[in-house]
A and B are shown apart, each in its own frame.
Chain A
């Protein structure tokens, strides 16, 4: 192991492999996410991006390899323990509490941050700190006007904003966003990019994204995942100049 880079990495993947039966979806992924950077994973459909996120966040265990969060192994831990260790993710398909109000959707995560997971002996209405922090997140994602509406009644882009808000509530330093602008109009995408930029200020961001303009305007570094392994990791300009990447991925789009 290279000691100097290990210290730097907020998240480090070494030789991460995942097979579903005979199909090897990830074939030894190596990836270092530096503390405080905004990092995108791009790649064609079926390259294994979602599987990669599911392994990091604990939905699946890797078949082989090591995943370390701040130097501590998290491979195979259950999702709630990974979240408590400081890594929070959003979902590609909106994954909210449809029959709860927007405010309550956010408050669940705030309660978790304060360790009030089994609070049974005090009414929630009197928890000033929790309710104030919920209001704060509500304002950051621009949903104040919708606070008391059911989350299931929000528009699609509002639900996407709520999804990002929920990901922030637990106070994690490392945020994983899975295609946060998927299905959005150009205008909505621009708003979402602004939102992601402000809310991830001072945090480490790893995102899967298909929209190259989003990647190029938001991210410090980009990794290209093709057929289950990382082809290259570089700055956005470096990646677009990379001949192998052009051939394997960007070239397809250009052609």
Chain B
């Protein structure tokens, strides 16, 4: 029954992913391509942390390798190599797998912090070498190519790129899901739980970890190559530690313990940066706040909270929960409004433009504009507004949290993810 329902849900979702994009404008199509690529990257990364219990801080290496491999193949195709454009990601897969086997051999000799540090070092190695290797990575400018037509497909439009990316992401996602159902997939979980016992049951734990690492790097390479196909260019900044840390944040916010959790996190972050990055320069700060709040109040991530609710859906009195949940959402939005007001005010008041305005006002503190209104920095009102938002939101949120906790406890459940999801609303 459950399987049948999941299958139908998945099919409906896939139909939406196919049918809706033609109705969207170019910017949204491009955003969806980026969301899909980020999702696949996060799924591949989560094979390590979620299933094998290995936290890599250097997955940018395999993402970048995949992108450059695909671009080199694209350049070869431009120069006449007969290779079908839809299969370009195979270059990323091969490169990711090869580099993953070598890097994984060394990284997985250790676990925990040492593993994380070795992966970080390997990615930094690529980041510092790439600008110097003109032939392979094109120096600081990077390399570029064009998607060549194949059969009757020209791959000229963003929409055709979207479908190519969608096909690869769905196939790889299904592959990673199937992986969890194989003997080696089950062994991966055992490695996470207790590597020593795995060894004493006759398994070569190191070799097993190298294979898991290489598979993760291979799929990461595919994700990187999809980005290269979409952008038609890549440079050494793909190896930056920001790329490595972004996938860590996305995976943990989405929930590493749930298979589709990383997809939720990747989609949320990619969407957030698409929608907010044009509005404010502080969007990275907001991302960081979201991450901290999720780690503090919902360590199992969005996916974990969703899963917890699905698992208990039959024991919960949804009509009683709806009110407190809405209240929590309202409280979260109030706090978010307060935080945004303060952050944006600070970024204006300490910004260069304001410093120039002060010079014009002979060192005084001129009024500034925010959300279409004029605020005076020394006015009582200016600081009462955010204070009231924060305090009011806090009171509302605490009350909602108590009520939600009481309802969950009355069902005999110790965990209270409701309060956690409320806190997440606080940052969004």
Contacts and interface: CB of A to CB of B under 8 A. Distances in A.
Interface of A: 57, 78-80, 83-84, 88-89, 91, 95-100, 104, 107-109, 111-113, 116-125, 127, 130, 166, 169-170
A83 B186 contact: no
Contacts of A96: 194, 197
B199 interface: yes
A120 B193 contact: no
Interface stretch (B176-184, B325-333, B337-345): B176-184
Interface of B: 178-179, 181-187, 189-190, 192-194, 196-205, 208, 211
Chain B contact residues: helix, strand, loop or mixed: helix
A254 to B, nearest CB: 37
Nearest to B198: A108
Nearest to A117: B203
Nearest to B183: A119
B201 A98 contact: no
B202 A112 contact: yes
Given A97-B194, A108-B186, A111-B187, A125 B181 contact: yes
8 contacts: A79-B200, A80-B202, A97-B194, A99-B193, A100-B190, A118-B208, A124-B185, A166-B197
B204 A80 contact: yes
A112 B201 contact: yes
B196 A83 contact: no
Contact of A57 (B178, B194, B200, B208): B200
B182 A120 contact: yes
Contacts of B208: 117-118
B193 A97 contact: yes
A68 B307 CA distance: 52
Contact of A111 (B179, B183, B189, B194): B183
A108 B190 contact: yes
Contacts of A127: 183
Given A108-B201, A111-B187, 20 more contacts: A78-B199, A79-B199, A83-B201, A84-B202, A88-B200, A88-B202, A91-B200, A95-B197, A100-B193, A108-B203, A109-B202, A113-B202, A117-B183, A119-B183, A120-B185, A123-B178, A124-B181, A124-B183, A124-B185, A170-B202
